[in-house]
Amino acid sequence: MTTARIAIDRTAVVAPLNRRIFGSFVEHLGRCVYDGIYEPGHPTANEDGFRLDVVELVKELGSSTIRYPGGNFVSGYRWEDGVGPKENRPVRRDLAWHSLESNQVGTDEFARWCKLTGSELMMAVNLGTRGIEAALDLLEYANHPSGTALSDQRIANGSPEPHDIKMWCLGNEMDGPWQTGYMTADDYGKLAARTAQAMKAADRNLELVVCGSSGSSMPTFGDWERTVLEHSYEHVDYISCHAYYQERKGDLGSFLASSLEMQYFIETVVATADHVGNKLRSKKKIQLSFDEWNIWYLEEHQASDEVNDEWRFAPRQLEDVYSVADAVVLGNLLMTLLKNHDRVTSASLAQLVNVIAPIMTEPGGDAWRQTTFFPFSVTSRLAKGDVLRPRIEVGTYETEVYGAAPLVDAVATADAESGTSALFLVNRSQTDSIEVTVDLASLDASSITEAVTLHDDDVYAKNTIDDRERVGLRELSGASLADGVLTVTLPPVSWSALAFA
């Protein structure tokens, strides 16, 4: 049997855990909002029309921060359309996803939904078709207590308390020619800097996210970040990263190693940001907001007829049904975000419901968990305290895309206050179980309190509308802990989590 050795050093701290790493994303796209989180006629709907069965699943998922309202959608969005009496709200065309927007859910409703789920609202402003004035107006409407035209309008609209939104995204993917109002790095950097300066004049405690590249494959990747930050560095706090992964042409081996590309992405953006900071003699470090990441079979959707000449309300778009392999990769991507948590301090799984999402719904019917739900929810629940970087000794396998990839990956957390710790593991081998020996002596762990794995003999097994519980977590059998040494056998193509006391 293939073996691996892991050592956990309590002093090898990456960073204290910031729960914003477990964020998600709700965009006005497809059925994410309408027929997803919002369905007034549903048996579980509350007075605002929000499905409470979905709320409970979001709580279970453990989403901490929710980015809203886009995404590509925000670059044509007029926030004023989504406030005030619902019967007066206009229907608009959404050019991003070629659909109709009813505006029945807007800023006030979504802020209330975030309170229902216990999550923090992270707002994006439109820098595609709009700019500084609209951003300042939305900030005043959302955050000013009272006594101004727009704050009093919010109060009159039924939200007496300010929404107190701290994190704001300065547009979305402004490097992409698919984006309404896209622009060059120089033009966007100047606009972002002016917008950020104005917003912080209103509230210097805001945390602002400037747009990085839409992906590492963009021809301007790296140079975009450099140019944008040269303009905006002293006015912003984060630069965004977006990345989606999928299995291509049956190359499962490369797909299972997708986190290597994410690691490259992170290291490149960090190096570029630090270069600009050093050049400007700045005393601060720009953090990374990985505010779009997921598995997305984009090429398949591009070849479909989801977007056509019709203008429809909430069409079914991008409703990927995920496999065990997809979930294993997603769990590994989340582990990679944690391993870089000293710089990646905010992240958003894109998206939350129906659209490339861990939660699915049917109108008037049930809500259920996709395979990708499980590694995210367990990691969010078990990870506490400090993130620790393990030392891993294991063999490699060859991939077509990334070359040699380690067969096992891992990350750990330890919480001094509760005396608990957790270990997250992935086995990328398609054929072999791997016996892993883990030195936990520095954690003073005396017992295993939980041991689960996501694995199936069919790596392409899915939870479908007809078989919604086909895949779930299993007990990771055979794990033992003695004298500070854990021994565990990981099934092939699996993601696993163990908790200790």
Q: Where are the beta strands (DSSP E) in 70-113?
A: 92-94, 99-101
What is the C-alpha separation between 67 and 83, in angstroms, rounded?
A: 18
For residue 499, list its beta bridge partners.
Answer: 422, 450
| Terminal CA-CA length for the chain | 29
Choosing from 80, 173, 225, 261, the catalytic residue is: 173
Q: Residue 27: which of 385, 274, 353 has the closest Cα?
A: 353
Q: Residue 354: which of 342, 343, 363 has the closest Cα?
A: 363
Give CA separation, 283 vs 182, 279, 488, in Å: 31, 11, 45
Taking phi over 0 as left and psi of -120 to 50 as alpha, with beta for the rest, 364 belongs to: left
Helices marked H in 18-129? 52-61, 107-117
DSSP tag of 323: B
As given in the structure block, the two tokens for residue 155 are 């109060």
What is the C-alpha separation between 152 and 300, in angstroms, rounded?
A: 47
State how beta strands 480-482 and 485-490 pair.
Answer: antiparallel
Choosing from 27, 80, 207, 292, the catalytic residue is: 292
Give CA separation, 233 vs 128, 196, 205, 237, in Å: 20, 10, 16, 8
Burial 24-54 (b: 16+ CB within 10 A, else e): bbbbbbbbbbbbbbbbeebeebeeebbbebb
CB 207 within 8 A of CB 236: no
What is the C-alpha separation between 411 and 153, in angstroms, rounded?
A: 48
What is the C-alpha separation between 147 and 150, in angstroms, rounded?
A: 8
Would you call 173 a catalytic residue per the annotation?
Answer: yes
Amino acid letter, 444: D
What is the C-alpha separation between 445 and 480, in angstroms, rounded?
A: 12
Catalytic residues: 173, 292
